[in-house]
Structure 1
Amino acid sequence: MTVIYKFLADYYDSLNNQDLINIYVKQITKRKKKGNIIDLGGGTGALSIILSEKGFNVTLTDIENEMLEVAYHNAMQKEQKLNLFIHNILDPLPEIYDCIILSTDVINHLKTKNEMQKAFNNIANAMDTKSVFIFDFLKKSFYDKIIPYYEMFQEGDDTFKWTINHGEQPEVIIHEIKTNDDTFLLEELLYSVSEFKTMLKLSKLKVVKKIELEERYIFIAKK
């Protein structure tokens, strides 16, 4: 997984889903007016920078240093300060946060349900009773309808050919991204609403709001 995101770091801003970002900002600012936010796997910082502009103390993490380098420059251009560090969501978090974000189907990129459970446990351990956890995950029914999927787009001198197909297991979808010179494969695991609720319950978290979009669900959870 990491190789593709190293390659995509320079293009990632153009791939951001602004409508999804706007929903996150609206839901977070309805519940919190200030405090410490951590944006896990937040890429090049599009959401983090907006929240920083609204007065939050924002920590942005990603597994790839290349993503954080772009995020640093993006924040500097907006005259915003982000706390940046490399972090894998399978590792514990260092402190308690007022709001924890896991956006743009980051959770679907984990390799097994056990890894997802471990990530939720780590997040729960970084929350108190006033903390809010907001994340989204892909809808299997949506991808069942559109697969096989094909799209081609241009970024600078690079042409991207993107296909999505089912994997060998029913819960797996495989993204294949071809550029001028390389081919990258990326798997995502798709689970149902009830399965995600069960995982959260095992981490002693409960869903307080569910938002349904065409492609994904957003869950807001608390202890």
Structure 2
Amino acid sequence: MSFQDLYVQLIEDIDYDPIIEWIKPHLKPSQRILDAGCGSGVILVPLTKAGYDVVGVDIDTKMLSYAQQALFEAALPVQLYEHDLRTPLSQTFDVILLFNDVVNYFKGVKTVFKTLKKALNPNGFILMDFYKEDYLSVMYWYEEAETSPIHYRWTSRVKGVCLTHTITNYKDTYEVKQYVYPVDYYRTVLESLGLTVVITEGPDERKHYLKASL
């Protein structure tokens, strides 16, 4: 089993509706939207189904195949591209979404934010979530294990701002790193690029929710 297969199984029971409903009031049907780091399509598919014009990009081919399958099964248009968010985008958008802690997978985000800003249309904005700094203390020595319906053991360790997750599924072991920076780090980087930043609370109390507008 690949890590992507395991990950998709692990998130099957997560209810993404509160996140979708939090995002929708910020959107208009006429806008062109980018789901940056769309993964298996848990945000992209419901928004596309609701009538929004959404393009999905992700660096992981296997995750994009899951998103493509979900769009096919729902008889929805497929606008998916494999792309590294640190490199220039070939299209422009009114709204760029970065949800499910996408930014936490980058060790430093200035290059990513520069790239995304260049891809924004006039009056466009970035909408995203990211972990609060307190999350590091919660995950400092975290462990969980399950045998049904999926067999796995998950441990997390913290060193500085780096959060390392180790997931074992039978004989396979995967390691995933995330980086949890103070909220002012993200604010400072975005404001240095000329974006106006508003930080609010949202459906996941572990996270900050941020809107950065041109």
Does residue 136 of structure 2 align to residue 143 of structure 1?
yes
Q: Which runs of 5+ in 1 are unaligned?
A: none
Query: SS of the counterpart of 2:120?
Result: coil
CA distance in structure 2 between the partners assigned to 1:103 and 1:17 by the alignment: 17
CA distance in structure 2 between the partners assigned to 1:21 and 1:206 by the alignment: 27
Query: SS of the counterpart of 1:131?
Result: strand
* 2:3 aligned residue: 7
The code of the aligned residue for 2:185 comes to E
Which aligned pairs between 1:17-166 and structure 2 lie closer than 5 A?
18=14, 22-111=18-107, 113=108, 116-154=109-147, 158-166=150-158
The code of the aligned residue for 1:206 comes to T
CA deviations 1:197-222 (Å, max 9, x no partner) are: 00111222121342254211110110
TM-score (norm 2): 0.89
Query: Contact 2:125–2:211 (CA<8 Å) still a contact in 1?
Result: yes
CA deviations 1:78-120 (Å, max 9, x no partner) are: 1111201100111111122011011111111113x2xx10000
CA distance in structure 2 between the partners assigned to 1:159 and 1:18 by the alignment: 17
TM-score (norm 1): 0.86
CA distance in structure 2 between the partners assigned to 1:118 and 1:132 by the alignment: 17
Provide the alpha-carbon RMSD of the alignment: 2.2
The structure-2 alpha-carbon separation of the partners of 1:121 and 1:217, relative to structure 1 and needing over 3 Å to count, comes to same
Query: Contact 1:25–1:51 (CA<8 Å) still a contact in 2?
Result: no
CA distance in structure 2 between the partners assigned to 1:23 and 1:91 by the alignment: 27
Query: Contact 1:60–1:85 (CA<8 Å) still a contact in 2?
Result: yes
Query: SS of the counterpart of 2:176?
Result: strand
CA deviations 1:102-142 (Å, max 9, x no partner) are: 1111111113x2xx100000111111332121111111212
User: How high is the sequence identity, in percent, across the aligned residues?
Assistant: 24
The code of the aligned residue for 2:123 comes to K
CA distance in structure 2 between the partners assigned to 1:206 and 1:17 by the alignment: 35
The structure-2 alpha-carbon separation of the partners of 1:10 and 1:173, relative to structure 1 and needing over 3 Å to count, comes to closer
Query: SS of the counterpart of 2:91?
Result: coil
The structure-2 alpha-carbon separation of the partners of 1:182 and 1:193, relative to structure 1 and needing over 3 Å to count, comes to same
191, 198, 202: which one aligns with 1:208: 198
* 1:183 aligned residue: 173
185, 189, 196: which one aligns with 1:195: 185
Query: Contact 2:3–2:174 (CA<8 Å) still a contact in 1?
Result: no
Query: Contact 2:39–2:67 (CA<8 Å) still a contact in 1?
Result: yes
CA distance in structure 2 between the partners assigned to 1:42 and 1:94 by the alignment: 17
Instruction: Count residues with an aligned counterpart.
Output: 213
